[in-house]
C-alpha cells in the first residue's frame, strides 16, 4: 500500500487594502456586479469578474429560477459568456464575491462542486490555470493559484482517451 498526499495551500489577506491594485480592482468590480444577480429565492447575490489574457474583462452573476435547479451560479454564467465572447482566450484571474441580503457578507465563499468541475474543464480547454480571488463585501480574501486545486482527483477528458 502507498499513501498518497494532496497538498493544498492558499493565500489569506486581511482585507482588500493588502491586495495589488489589479486584484483590488477586480474584487471591487465583483462586489459591485452582485447587484446584477437575479436571486429572488435565495436572496444570495453572487458576482464574478474575470480578467482575460487579452486584457478584456467578463462578468457573471447568479440567475435563479422558480424551478430551483434551473438556476445557474455566477461562475458558470461567466465561463459560458467568456467562452462565447472570447473563444480560446485564457482567464488569468477570476474574482468572486457575494452580497447576502439575509445576513452578513464578511467572509470569502468558494465555488460549488459543479462550478469547480466547470472551472477545471476551462483550464484544460485553454491550457492555463485560473487564479481565484475569493471575498465577501468585507473581511478576509483568499487567493488560490489554480481553480482545479479545489477538485483533487477530478474526472476529466483525459480519462476518456
Ligand atoms: N451561488 C453562486 O452563484 N456561486 C457560488 O459560488 C455559490 C452559490 C448561487 C447559487 C444560488 O443562486 C445562490 O448562490 C444560493 O446558493
| 46 CA: nearest ligand 1 atom | 3
Q: What is the pLDDT of residues 129-147, one digit of tens each?
A: 999 999 999 999 999 999 9
Q: Could you tell me if the CB of 79 is within 6 A of ligand 1?
A: no
Confidence bin at 110 (pLDDT 50/70/90): very high
State the Cα–Cα distance between residues 145 and 127, nearest whole angstrom: 14
Q: Which of 55, 44, 111, 105 is nearest to 79 (CA)?
A: 111
Nearest CA to ligand 1 atom 5: 111
Confidence bin at 125 (pLDDT 50/70/90): very high
Q: Could you tell me if the CB of 77 is within 6 A of ligand 1?
A: no
Domains (range + CATH), the chain: 11-151 (3.40.140.10)
User: Which residues on adjacent β-strands are paired with residue 38?
Assistant: 63
pTM of the predicted protein model: 0.97
Residue from 40, 68, 98 to probe ligand 1 pocket by mutation (most atoms less than 8 Å from CB): 98
Nearest CA to ligand 1 atom 1: 73
State the Cα–Cα distance between residues 86 and 82, nearest whole angstrom: 5
pLDDT of residue 88: 97
Residue from 45, 73, 77, 97 to probe ligand 1 pocket by mutation (most atoms less than 8 Å from CB): 73
Q: What's the grid cell of residue 26? A: 477586480
| 61 CA: nearest ligand 1 atom | 3
Amino acid at each position: 500500500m502507498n499513501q498518497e498526499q494532496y497538498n493544498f495551500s492558499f493565500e489569506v489577506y486581511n482585507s482588500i487594502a493588502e491586495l495589488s491594485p489589479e486584484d483590488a480592482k477586480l474584487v471591487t468590480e465583483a462586489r459591485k456586479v452582485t447587484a446584477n444577480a437575479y436571486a429572488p429565492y435565495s436572496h444570495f447575490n453572487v458576482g464574478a469578474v474575470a480578467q482575460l489574457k487579452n486584457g478584456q474583462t467578463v462578468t457573471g452573476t447568479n440567475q435563479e429560477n422558480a424551478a430551483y435547479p434551473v438556476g445557474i451560479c455566477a461562475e458558470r454564467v461567466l465561463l459560458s459568456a467568456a467562452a462565447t465572447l472570447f473563444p480560446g482566450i485564457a482567464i488569468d484571474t477570476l474574482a468572486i464575491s457575494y452580497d447576502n441580503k439575509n445576513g452578513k457578507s464578511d467572509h470569502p465563499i468558494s465555488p460549488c462542486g459543479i462550478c469547480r468541475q466547470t472551472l477545471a474543464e476551462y483550464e484544460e480547454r485553454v491550457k492555463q490555470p485560473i487564479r481565484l480571488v475569493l471575498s465577501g463585501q468585507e473581511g478576509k480574501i483568499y487567493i488560490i493559484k489554480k481553480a482545479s486545486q479545489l477538485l483533487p482527483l477530478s474526472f476529466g477528458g483525459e480519462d476518456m482517451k
